[in-house]
Amino acid sequence: MKSQIPKFVNPRYYNWITKTVILTGLALLSTPLWEKLLKEVLKKIGINISEDYHPYIGIILIIIAVTFNLISQYFAFNRIEQKSETPQKEISKCETFENFYQFCQSLIPLMDDNKYIFKTYGPNSLASEIEPLRNDLTLWNESRVDYIIPNNEIIECIIIQNKLLIPALHTELFQKLRAHIYSFKKHIENPNFDYSEYQFPSEIEYIIKDACYNITTSNKGFKDVSYWINNKLSFKEIDEKFIIGSFLFSTENSNDLDVLMRLNISNKELLRQLHDKLNDVEYLFRLKFKKNIHLTVFTAQETEAYYEFLNKNNYRYLLNGKRLTLFNSSFYKKCFKWT
């Protein structure tokens, strides 16, 4: 109930008409006060202004403000870290965490990395489809030692260090994961060691991701970003849009924001025009949130592929495009729910 009161007292000015009228009113109200204040300040530094010079001083102030803003934007943009020439493996550490959410967040990049390597280099992967590499699992064998084993060691260490955070309901599952890690290592040391009874417990991925998804998507940071991106992507050419990927599990640790969208256009010229508009949004997002946006776009002719892609993404957050205004009845209903 308490949270509803400030919302009503301090409404968000979605509507440009409201904003303009309020600003005009405020400007008229505060003009005499500002005038007095400015005159006093300028008098103190030895400048006396007459009534005739007011518009010129106003224009000079606006020019100064706009120049300052442009310079600040330029430096802010250059401060954004560009990706290094070669993508590097993220360094994960074995740490003690405060809660199950943080614990799960630390496991996701490590487990995703293992999954990606298995899918890319493991048996029946892309590597085996390339002629010179057919029947050659060298890359898989190397990746297991170079990446999966070190990742597994950190995963196991995190589980041991934070075992008290694991809910009793999931303790057995985490034990199964530890058994898998141990047997996998044994199998690599001795290929005759059979670890088929200790396969990776795949359901653990959902336990971990569910925990992160539910908390992350209700965070203020996530809501701010999703609200911003939803508004900026309110183009008539976009029929549906979702946030997907790592941002759903951790707003701080994700490298970028993945946005999936379905368009209602296929015409190349219209696509080019939309591309220019989306480029502007990407630029603004980078300035504001110091992250990149990664767009996955399906045209009207690619609807079938879109739904296939959508179904593969178990975790997604719909950006519904509804924009609240001061005249939106549902907004008032929410505000007065407590009365």
Partner 1 sequence: MGKDLHYSILPFIKNALNGHKNVTAILPIDDPDFYIFKIVRIGAFDDIYLVLSDDYYFGDYSYISKHPILKNGGFILIARPEANDYDTSEPINKIGVGKIGKLLGALNRNDFWNYITPPKKYQ
Query: Which residues are at the interface with partner 1 (CB under 8 A)?
Result: 82-83, 85-89, 113, 116-117, 119-121, 125-127, 129-133, 139, 143, 147, 255-256, 258, 263, 266, 268, 271-272, 274-275, 292, 294-299, 301-302, 305, 309
Rounded distance between C-alpha atoms, residue 249 and residue 160, angstroms: 22
CB of 126 to partner 1, least distance (A): 4
Taking the least distance from each CB to partner 1, the nearer of 97 and 147 is: 147
Taking the least distance from each CB to partner 1, the nearer of 166 and 265 is: 265
CB of 199 to partner 1, least distance (A): 22
Would you state the structure tokens that stand for residue 88, as one six-digit string? 């590097």
- Residues pairing with 260 in the sheet: 242, 296
Taking the least distance from each CB to partner 1, the nearer of 293 and 319 is: 293
CB of 86 to partner 1, least distance (A): 6
Q: Is 240 strand, coil or helix? A: strand
Q: Which residue has the tokens 């296939």?
A: 308
Taking the least distance from each CB to partner 1, the nearer of 213 and 306 is: 306
- Distant-in-sequence, close-in-space partners of 174: CB < 8 Å, separation ≥ 6: 159, 163, 166, 204
Contact 170, 205 (CB under 8 A): no
Beta strands 292-298; 256-263: pairing state: parallel
> Residue 97 gets which letter from DSSP?
-
Taking the least distance from each CB to partner 1, the nearer of 183 and 239 is: 239
Would you state the structure tokens that stand for residue 259, as one six-digit string? 């946005």
Contact 320, 230 (CB under 8 A): yes
CB of 271 to partner 1, least distance (A): 5
CB of 41 to partner 1, least distance (A): 44
